[in-house]
Amino acid sequence: MRTALMLLMLLGLASIPGSLIPQTRVDPNAVINWQTAHPDLTRIYTKLDLFTVYGSPWFSAVYLLLMVSLIGCIVPRVRVYWRAVRARPPRVPRNLQRLPASITTMTSLPARAVAEHASRLLQRARYRVDVVEEADGGFAVAAQRGYLREAGNLLFHVSLLAVLVAFAVGDMFGYKGSVNIVSGQTFTNTREAYDDYAPGSLFSADRLAGFNLKLNDFKVNYLTSGPELGQPTSFRADVTYSTPSGASPTNIALEVNHPLSIDGTDVFLTGNGYAPEITVRDGDGKVVYSGPTVFLPTSSTYASWGVIKAPDASPTQLGFEGQFLPTYATAPGVGPYSAFPNALAPTLSLTAFTGDLGLGSGVPQSVYSLTKTHLTQVRNNAGKPLTLTIALGQTRKLPGGIGSVRFDGLRRYARLQIASSPASPLALTAVVLALLGLIGSLYVRPRRIWIRARATAGQTELELAGLDQRDGPARGAALTKVLNDLTAELTTDVTGASE
Amino acid sequence: MNAVQYSHFSNTAIMSAAIIYCLAMTAHITEWALTRTPVAEPALPREYVSTASTPTPTQIAAEPVPQSYRKDLAGHLGVSLTAVAFLLHVAGVVSRGLAAGRVPWGNMYEFTITGTAVAVGTYLVWLRFQPVRWLGLAMTGFTVVLLMVAVLLLDVPAGPLVPALQSYWLYIHVTAAMIATGSFTVGALVTAMYLIRSRAETAGRTKGLGSRLPDADTIDALAYQIHAFAFPVWTFAALIAGPIWAKYAWGRYWGWDPKEVWAFITWVAYAAYLHARATAGWRGRKAAYLALAGFAALWFNFIGVNFFISGLHSYAGK
Ligand code: HEM
């Protein structure tokens, strides 16, 4: 118990840092921002796994030790419990008046009748009861209940283990991925199609369910008045999916909190944003980039960040980065911003770069950032960094005849999380069992009651005593009441006459 | 009434409730003050004097004492005022829900007013089964402070829920979390009283706050009773209903989001409290501190995490 207690406290403490420091698996962008802001601490923190606390060796060590201690505690207890569960109630102590709660009274009923009556009453109250005739002709009744407390306790702790095992199994045999699908586009469930793909260590990509999913349309509603102006009230993705076995494609609306399940794989709507359709031409007027481009929202009004790379442009490669603003607005001192999440005045605000995008170097690059080591920012005629502000339908030319950008159209995209977690029914069952066990372990009250009935001087002397095995003296009141009620029944019930 | 009127009514009801809680608190302070000098007031008729022989510190608090008249009057007044304030408080919570057109726990302000209402409700229900009126002062004081914090610092206008919160699991999860929070809160107040009493007993004090409380063992058993109720409810709310809802809303059961982490820390701290009560050398005051640690984690989760840490669950408003 002492070890378990220490480990529990340690587990609580060990969980704290991960809630204060951004975690890679929870919010990778926040981690990058934090690391940029604290370059000195980053090295130390990375060494201490402080950006991946919940997968770190030291955190795992704490909960594995807890598991070991749990197993070490459960195994011996199962045997003890098995013996206890079949044990008879302990024999009636010689001196009942020495117990914390006891009553002595006289009755005219015969001792045997009283003992048998007591036995019946207690059995009805789900006590396990033994009646013995004592050497002096008296009768002793020993009763005990609450055997299930220990069972509940064991069930709870065993189920905790089962939950952890289920999570481990789910992690190993499942996978999780996410993808941004622009409306009008189709996603095919293969490893390559994912933006992020995180398989469990024992999951292989050929077990991915083979389905296609097309995003037909994405609808959003926002509050257009009131203090929460601009807050979304609903997101809906109209999708069509088809499976190799399924007959015809199915249309369905995917909403937040209403996931779709296809052959054991769950599809969740977890985000959305804008994908402006952009065409880039190079100095020769050749189209070197074209199509909807996913911009990642950075604010609640959907000001979004995106990047365009045109490696085939000549005379020089072209790169762009900047914002998409669904409702363009400016204010002095703030610069351009988005005033509302809907596309009321959609505008791109981009800066341009020439030079070498670094795509041939073999180092993998994110599609959401430019590697600027070999790039030069394009400047306007006055020599200042150039910002292209392009409203929907407009074209902007780059100075020096090196190319142009056109904002052709606007689409929305949906961010889908797709996952298979095979052990979740097991985990759910285990959690429910744990709760039942917990309730048993906290609410079942083990209690012993002893009664002795002995003939004296033509009457029967009746002694009752009880013991609540938990919670100390404050339970006394409840126990006293039980004994009083029992005494009243035993001394009146059979004949209807009181003593 | 329309939404604006409901909202206005709600604010008025909450303010009035806070004022009446203040009055209730005053009545309980009077009750305590009257307990201070157990041997005073010799003018009372003989029958009212306790028949106990030499009063020990324990008996002073537990047995009826001569001036119990006025003390009782003040105590009853405190409870009645608390009940009145509670009704207004509930009216404020309900009308807030009507104003927003949904359950009244979509942001921190609402969570705080609803959470305190559940705590007071738990206390009043409990009062029917156990003699826990000595909790009245702590209960009303705590409620007044939290309502003031809610009104002055956390208030945001009522509005609808963002899509991630639109699920019936929200109702199940937050209802359970609310009930657990209310009972843990009462539990923490009882535990605080236990610590005061237990120190007074160790020091053998016959004056001061501690001497007016029931004996430490009794308080400890009551503290266990309420925690043993709250713990399974919290287990259900935070570790069953929460993950199920998270699965629907975000596609994963458990993601170590700060809010989840603190719910987990809360759970672990209370589990440690339950273990400590069964561990030699940890029973009593050390266990009590663990319960208070759990309570600190619980409220940090509802207020601190929203302010200091951002995550999926942040519904702090601006
Ligand atoms: C290292 C692992 C653990 C061990 C060895 C362990 C051991 C025990 C033992 C021996 C008891 C029985 C106490 C008694 O009968 O008086 C107990 C009770 C309990 N344990 Fe654990 N436990 C462990 C982990 C946990 C965890 C992780 C939790 C949940 C957070 C937990 C929650 C409980 C609860 C709620 C009780 C009931 C306490 C009561 O009866 O008041 N235990 N544990």
pLDDT one-digit tens code per residue, A46-72:
899 898 888 889 998 998 999 999 999
Detail the DSSP E strand segments found in A127-263: 128-133, 139-145, 175-182, 186-188, 196-199, 212-222, 232-242, 250-255, 260-262
Instruction: Calculate helix-pair angle for A148-173, A424-443, nearest 10 degrees.
Output: 160
Element (H, E) at A422: none
What percent of chain B is modeled with pLDDT above 70? Answer: 82
CB contact under 8 A, B222 and A266: no
Per-residue model confidence (pLDDT) at position A373: 86
Is B138:B192 a contact under the CB 8 Å cutoff?
A: yes
**pLDDT band at residue B67 under the 50/70/90 scheme:** low
Closest CA to B300 of B129, B140, B130, B184: B184
CATH homologous superfamily of A88-146+445-498 equals Sirohaem synthase, central domain (3.30.160.110)
The identity of residue A209, as a single letter, is A
The mean pLDDT of chain B is 81
Low-confidence winner among A435-444, A476-485, B22-31, B77-86 (lowest mean pLDDT): A476-485
Question: Would you place residue B99 in the very low, low, confident or very high pLDDT band (cuts 50, 70, 90)?
Answer: confident
The pLDDT value given to residue A324: 95
For residue B278 and ligand 1, the question of a CB distance below 6 A is answered with: yes
pLDDT, position B135: 92
CA of A5 to the centre of ligand 1 (A): 8
Q: Per-residue pLDDT for B181 more than 50?
A: yes
Contacts of A268 in chain B (CB under 8 A): 248-251
Rounded distance from Cα A406 to ligand 1 centre (Å): 66
pLDDT score recorded for residue A391: 94
Using alpha carbons only, give the angle A75, A76, A81 rounded to the nearest 5 degrees: 100
Q: Could you give the residue ranges of the DSSP H alpha helices within A51-206?
A: 57-86, 111-124, 148-173
Can you list the residues of chain A whose pLDDT is less than 50? 473, 495-499
Task: Round to whole Å and give the CA distance between A326 and A344.
Answer: 6
**Residue in B227, B233, B240, B261 to test binding to A, most A beta-carbons within 10 Å:** B261
Which chain B positions have a beta carbon within 8 Å of A437's beta carbon?
Answer: none
Q: In angstroms, what separates the C-alpha of A117 from chain B's closest C-alpha?
A: 31
The answer to whether A438 contacts B231, with C-beta atoms less than 8 Å apart, is yes
Is the predicted pLDDT of residue B43 greater than 50, yes or no? Answer: no
End-to-end CA distance of chain B: 27
Atom of ligand 1 minimally distant from the CA of B228? 41
pLDDT digits (tens, 9 = 90+) for B246-299: 887 777 788 888 889 999 999 999 999 999 988 878 888 999 999 999 999 998
Note whether A59 and A14 are within 8 A (CB).
Answer: yes
Cβ atoms A236, A255 nearer than 8 A? yes
- Is the CB of A179 within 6 Å of ligand 1? no
Chain A residues closer than 8 Å to B194 by CB: none
Q: Do A417 and B250 touch (CB under 8 A)?
A: yes
User: Min CA distance, B296 vs chain A (Å)?
Assistant: 13
Answer yes or no: are the C-beta atoms of A351 and A372 closer than 8 Å: no
The residue whose CA has the least distance to atom 26 of ligand 1 is B271
How much is the ipTM here? 0.79
Domains of chain A: which residue ranges? 1-86, 88-146+445-498, 274-416
Q: Do B164 and A268 touch (CB under 8 A)?
A: no
Mean pLDDT calculated for residue range B141-147: 94
Burial B133-153 (b: 16+ CB within 10 A, else e): bbbbbbbbbbbbebbeebbee
Beta bridge partners of B97: none
**Which are the contacts of A235, defined by CB distance < 8 A and separation ≥ 6?**
A218, A219, A220, A255, A256, A269, A272, B163
Using CA positions, which residue lies closest to atom 5 of ligand 1?
A70
The rounded distance, in Å, linking the Cα atoms of A392 and A273 is 17
Q: What is the mean pLDDT of residues B124-144?
A: 91
The answer to whether residue B314 scores a pLDDT higher than 60 is no
Q: Whose CA is nearest to atom 9 of ligand 1?
A: A1
What's the CA gap between A126 and A147, in Å, rounded?
Answer: 10
Mutation target for B interface from A1, A2, A10, A19: give the one with most B CBs within 10 A: A19
Cβ distance of B162 and A15 shorter than 8 Å: no
Antiparallel, parallel or unpaired: β A128-133 and A347-355: unpaired
Per-residue pLDDT tens for A262-284? 888 889 888 889 999 999 999 89
Cβ proximity of B302 and B108 under 8 Å: yes
3-class secondary-structure state, position A473: helix
Rounded Cα–Cα distance for residues A313 and A281 (Å): 8
Q: What atom of ligand 1 comes closest to residue B268's alpha carbon?
A: 30
For ligand 1, atom 25, the nearest C-alpha belongs to A157
Q: How high is the pLDDT of residue A404?
A: 94
Q: What is the pLDDT of residue B267?
A: 96
Q: Which residue has the higher pLDDT, B25 or A381?
A: B25
pLDDT for A227? 66
Residue A473, judged by CB atoms within 10 A of its CB (0-12, 13-18, 19+), counts as: middle
B308 band by pLDDT with thresholds 50, 70 and 90? low
Residue A58 token pair:
């030291």
Specify the pLDDT at position B153.
80
Q: Whose CA is nearest to atom 35 of ligand 1?
A: B271
Residue B41's pLDDT band (cuts 50, 70, 90): very low
Which of A231, A257, A435 faces B236 most closely, judged by CB atoms? A435
Residues in chain A with CB shorter than 8 Å from the CB of B234 are none
Contact B119, B229 (CB under 8 A): no
- Cα B271 to ligand 1 centroid, rounded to whole Å: 7
Q: What pLDDT was estimated at residue A368?
A: 82
Say yes or no to pLDDT of B54 above 50. no
Q: To which residue do tokens 């704490």 refer?
A: A62
Identity at A39, one-letter amino acid code:
P
Those residues whose C-beta lies under 8 Å from the C-beta of residue A478, and which sit 6 or more positions away, are A468
Give the closest residue (by CA) to ligand 1 atom 41.
Answer: B274
At a CB cut-off of 8 Å and minimum separation 6, what does B22 contact?
A: B140, B144
CA B208-B210-B212 angle, to 5 degrees, is 85
Length of chain B: 318
Structure tokens at A246: 């399924």
Number of neighbours of residue B39 by Cβ within 10 angstroms: 11
**Cis-peptide into A315, omega within 30 deg:** yes
| Alpha-helix runs per DSSP H in B130-284 | 136-149, 168-203, 216-236, 242-250, 258-277
Residue-level pLDDT at A309: 94
Q: What is the pLDDT of residue A93?
A: 87
Nearest Cα of chain A lies from the Cα of B2 at a distance, in angstroms, of 14
The C-alpha atoms of residue B297 and residue B284 are separated, in whole angstroms, by: 20
pLDDT digits over B151-176, tens only? 888 777 666 666 666 677 778 888 89
B164, B272, B281: residue with CB nearest A9? B272
Question: Chain A: nearest CA to B281, how far in angstroms?
Answer: 9
With both helix axes pointing from N to C terminus, report the angle between B258-277 and B216-236 in degrees, rounded to the nearest 10. 140
Q: What is the dihedral of CA A146, A152, A153, A157, to 10 degrees?
A: 170
Give the Cα separation of B297 and B267 in Å (integer). 9
The answer to whether the CB atoms of B220 and A235 lie below 8 A apart is: no
Compare CB distances from A257 to B159, B248, B254 and report the shortest one's residue.
Answer: B248
* Angstrom distances, CA of residue A181 to CA of A185, A193, A267, A368, A406: 6, 10, 12, 15, 22
pLDDT at position B131 is 84
CA nearest to A467, candidates A112, A93, A150: A93
Choose between B37 and B270: higher pLDDT. B270
Ligand 1 pocket member A159 (CB < 6 A): no
How much is the pLDDT for B317? 35
Q: How far apart are CA B248 and CA B269, in angstroms?
A: 28
